[in-house]
Structure 1
Amino acid sequence: MKLTELFRPENIRQGVCFSSKKRLFESIAHFVVEQLHCDKGEQACFECLFNREKLGNSGLGNGVAMPKAKLPADATNKALAVFMQLETPIDYDAQDGKPVDLVFAVLVPEKQCQTYIPVLSALTEKLADKNFLKQLRSAKSAEEIWQIFEIVDQMPESTEALPEDNA
């Protein structure tokens, strides 16, 4: 699974601020509805994210979260992913107790959920790479984040780690 196949450059936000997980989810919902070019559905999208979160915390540890939700089948025929690098970490009730500053939100058409299980699993594996996370945290723009995604995508599957940043 390539990050550049799941994400798009216009779906990356760098240095954004939120006061809570709820505000983060509201922003993701707003952004998704905007991307789908619909006039309504922001509340429904927020509720999908929020209700899915009630089933299990999407905090992966190490300051990373991957909120997920189902989109109505008539909204889109492919997953929509949003990446947000937060300027200030927020309390996320993650299992490791660490606040979250990197958010990989993935919203999948409800009739394609089974199709995306391997994609979510592969993304979770990538998010365990501490050097990758370090690079994302130090990025100063959405363009730089996109370049990091492109570099990771060019690496062989078995060694998907970014070169060490010795700066």
Structure 2
Amino acid sequence: MEFTDILVSKAVKVIAQSSSKKRLFRDIAEQAEACYDLDASAIVDALLDRETLGPTGVGNGIALPHARLDGLDQVVSVFVRLEKPMDFGAVDRQPVDLVFGLFAPQAAGVDHLKALALVSRTLRDKDVCAKLRSNTDAGTLYTILTEQAASQAA
């Protein structure tokens, strides 16, 4: 699995700031709705439900909110870079500025886990995160993500 399998360039966005986690989830949901023809309200509800199990802020300024959704036939995602980091309840209590929303079909099984592993592995790379944080152009961010994954596969 590669980023190009789960992420389209239109699903990458830079947001100046978000007033709350719920507002950020709304922004992510609207982006997913526009890119993948999903129901934004259902996405927000699913992300909020998932978050009640524990925060998806994994540390180092990264959050991986994810949910399973009805009506999907493949794993899809949205990447958001926040210009102003926000509190996300991350495990290390650091504010989050790189947010990768991941959505999977209800019965995705191993594909959901493969996608989470791909995103996690890529965002653990400090050089990749530094590049993502130093750019504000959505197209450049998409290129960084897709090129990094391609070079890891080679």
Alignment TM-score > 0.5, same fold: yes
Q: Which of the pair has more CA radius of gyration?
A: 1
Structure 1: which 4+ aligned runs deviate by more than 4 Å?
A: none
Does 1:140 find its partner at 2:136? yes
Pairing 1:95-110 to 2, within 5 Å after superposition: 95-110=91-106
Q: 1:122 aligns with which of 109, 118, 122?
A: 118
Q: Secondary structure at the match of 2:37?
A: coil
Structure 1 residues 48 and 15, CA, compared in 2 at 3 Å: closer, same or farther? closer
Please list the CA deviations of residues 92-135 of structure 1 after superposition, one character each: whole Å capped at 9, or x if unmatched.
Answer: 01010100000000011112133321221232121111111000
Alpha-carbon RMSD:
1.7
Unaligned runs of 5+ in 2: none
Distance 2:142 2:36 in 1: 21
Q: CA deviation at 1:15?
A: 3.8
SS of the equivalent of 1:104 reads strand
The more displaced of 129-138 and 41-50 is 41-50
Q: Deviations over 1:50-82 (max 9, x none)?
A: 00011121111100000001110xx22111200
| Aligned length in residues | 154
| Aligned CA distance change for structure 1 residues 33 and 140 (closer, same or farther; 3 Å) | closer
Which residue does 1:163 correspond to in 2? none
TM-score by length of 2: 0.91
Residue 29 of structure 1, CA deviation: 1.8
Note the residue ranges of structure 1 that are not aligned, 5 or more in a row: 159-167
Structure-2 change in CA distance of 1:153 and 1:48 (3 Å) = same
Matches of 2:111 and 2:76, distance apart in 1: 14
Aligned to 1:56, the other structure's residue is in SS state coil
Q: Is the 8 A contact 2:75 2:111 kept in 1?
A: no
Equivalent residues of 1:16, 1:84 under 8 A apart: no
Aligned residues: percent identity?
Answer: 32
